[in-house]
Chains A and B, each alone.
Chain A
């Protein structure tokens, strides 16, 4: 299992908030170097699956391996772009300040970003098309620009696997195009990009493979094979009430009716 070439593996992963399971027994293997979409309706557990991979929520069961190793061993090779609404954009920092944060973990304690980190940050900003707002306070950016700042910060991490949580939410068409281009370039460089996504229309255009999620893995594989009417119906219309009911019973320590 440790010698596999897969980029990301979930082995029978279950995630619970409190005692209530919200993601059931996900078993999923993502090959390396591709644009991989995690698709599903609201409340399906897409972000939760991402956070489980990043160690931000505890696993109730199962195991996650990234690049064939446990997360702790490869953390420096993993980049994360959280949802834009997860932070306070009035925070008194400039665009460059935020991008430099991507270099912090590599720098380690006590060392400050120097000329090397600054030129890397400038390069990453250029890549996402924000060179001209480098010194602006982040609250004065549009939603699409803010999202690209987050992407630039992840680029500055120089990771091999990127996780993005709803990077296109509230983003204008031009930013969206730009972000997808950068992500495609990352794939071309041999990196794995995993994206939580909600817009089915852009999936076929940009993604290589997807996982359809609705509290459990419905289907996974190349886009053309997975995005069938039957699978979409099972993901979006077939909310499994039985999982909800059992989850509630588990949380309350009781028994289902």
Chain B
């Protein structure tokens, strides 16, 4: 818990710098895990490293020291080895094997921490949630500056991860996308995969002190998953993931400071909000984009149906249906405003409106005729599909259909298919 105290701004700066550095490393590794659909492996490793850390501390290692990193990496590799062992020899499915291996190792870690509390300086609560707020108090001098030990460890790990990713970029990407082809091409797929495991455990251990075993999973998976929604190239995904992770750490820490709550928890909440926003706003596949696309199609269909109905009335088949639903009325108003329909109660088509309506009716009857010729469908079943497809036919395909139907003058109901519009006509019915 933090107090709002401006005399300790320096402390807050160090805590934020640590959180951002840790988060950047996690987002980098997490991106590889997410595209390999291995996010849960990050979860497994972040838990399984605990006994390794405890034993390393017991053996005299300092939190954040090299010995602890070694212990954690060994524990992580043991987890993966155990998972494979359970899979191949005990016949457990891979996810079940991982579930058994990492929970058991984590439990051993918890038991060790509790049993050896007097000899190991690890707080069980800190294992779960981290102690970001206390990070600035454990410092080492660097060029006369007191730098938090955790930041130093996290920064070292980040540099190692960035250098490794840059050097092995080709191998990492090929292996992640298509391991079988990479192996067939002679790439050291096993080595690269093992390297990713080591990188995951390094990123996890670097984060342990600051954010704990549970919230590090959020840092690994969430920014990367959000970035995957936003961009289509892997190298951009890495940059966006790191940016989201760093931004989430800064905003989360400041929010925790403002609301006087746990910083690591707040950071994870902010990361979750970032993901939610990405899912909502992603271009193309985002929820908002999909709703907009669906509704704009409904709107276009309503307008086009209105025009076609008036055209058919002019043709003399039937009286035009009055607009009934709210959408119909809005479409009518839009068409009047746009100069497609004459204002007033009678409300016939204007010249422009007639051109556009004719194209829609042409599309409708062309499709009925095409279905009648190529698909075994009873005559009374032709109208509904044409009502749908008429909104999606463009000029080129209409031309191809007309050429295919050459000789047939009318639609299967015996009505004329109106001719194509003049080239100078302003707006064609757009295709999607």
Which residues from chain A sit less than 8 Å from chain B, CB to CB?
Answer: 51, 54-56, 75-76, 78, 80-82, 86-88, 91-94, 97-98, 101-102, 104-105, 107, 109-110, 112-113, 137, 153, 157, 163
Contact = CB atoms under 8 A, between A and B. Distances in A.
A91 B181 contact: no
A178 B381 CA distance: 37
Given A92-B232, A92-B234, A105-B187, A80 B35 contact: no
Interface in B132-190: 167-171, 173-174, 176-178, 180-187
B184 A104 contact: no
B184 A56 contact: yes
Best-buried of B37, B176, B180, B187 by chain A (most CB within 10 Å): B180
A213 to B, nearest CB: 20
B277 interface: no
Contact of B233 (A87, A97, A110, A157): A97
A87 B232 contact: no
Contact of A104 (B35, B176, B185): B185
A102 B170 CA distance: 11
Given A56-B180, A82-B181, A93 B186 contact: no
Contact of A82 (B174, B176, B178, B234): B178
B170 A91 contact: no
Contact of A112 (B169, B181, B185, B234): B169
Contacts of B177: 87-88, 91, 93, 98, 101
A163 B183 CA distance: 14
A120 to B, nearest CB: 15
Given A91-B176, A107-B170, A101 B181 contact: yes
Nearest 5 pairs between A and B by C-beta? Answer: A80-B184, A105-B185, A137-B232, A75-B186, A54-B184
Contacts of B186: 75-76, 105
B274 interface: no
B246 interface: no
A163 B184 CA distance: 10
B304 interface: no
B237 interface: yes
Contact of B178 (A78, A101, A113): A101
A53 to B, nearest CB: 10
A67 to B, nearest CB: 15
A91 B184 contact: no
Interface in B214-262: 228, 231-234, 236-237
Contacts of B237: 92
A158 to B, nearest CB: 12
Given A92-B234, A101-B182, A105-B186, 14 more contacts: A55-B184, A75-B185, A80-B181, A87-B177, A94-B233, A97-B173, A97-B234, A98-B177, A101-B181, A104-B170, A105-B185, A105-B187, A107-B170, A109-B171
Contacts of A54: 184
Given A87-B178, A88-B37, A94 B232 contact: yes
Nearest to B37: A88
Contacts of B233: 92-94, 97
A163 B185 CA distance: 12
A102 B183 CA distance: 12
B279 to A, nearest CB: 15
Nearest to A50: B184
B170 A112 contact: yes
Helix, strand, loop or mixed for chain B's interface? helix
27 contacts: A51-B180, A55-B183, A55-B184, A78-B184, A80-B181, A82-B178, A82-B180, A82-B184, A86-B178, A87-B177, A87-B178, A91-B176, A91-B177, A92-B228, A92-B234, A93-B173, A93-B233, A93-B234, A94-B233, A101-B170, A101-B174, A104-B171, A107-B170, A112-B169, A112-B170, A157-B185, A163-B184
Nearest to B185: A105
Given A56-B184, A80-B185, A92 B178 contact: no
Contacts of B231: 92
A38 B220 CA distance: 44
A180 to B, nearest CB: 21
B187 A91 contact: no
B180 A86 contact: yes
A86 B184 CA distance: 14
A107 B185 CA distance: 11
Contact of A91 (B35, B167, B180, B182): B35
B370 to A, nearest CB: 20
Interface string B101-141: 00000000000000000000000000000000000000000
Contact of B167 (A80, A104, A110): A110
A116 to B, nearest CB: 15
A43 B182 CA distance: 25
A153 B173 contact: no
User: Counting chain A CB atoms within 10 Å of each CB, which of B169, B183, B231 scores highest?
Assistant: B183
Nearest to A87: B178
Contacts of B182: 101, 104
A217 B333 CA distance: 74
A51 B167 CA distance: 30
Residue with the greatest number of chain A CB neighbours at <10 A, chosen from B35, B174, B181, B228: B181
Contacts of A82: 178, 180-181, 184
A82 B177 CA distance: 12
A113 to B, nearest CB: 8
Contacts of B180: 51, 56, 80, 82, 86
A104 B178 contact: no
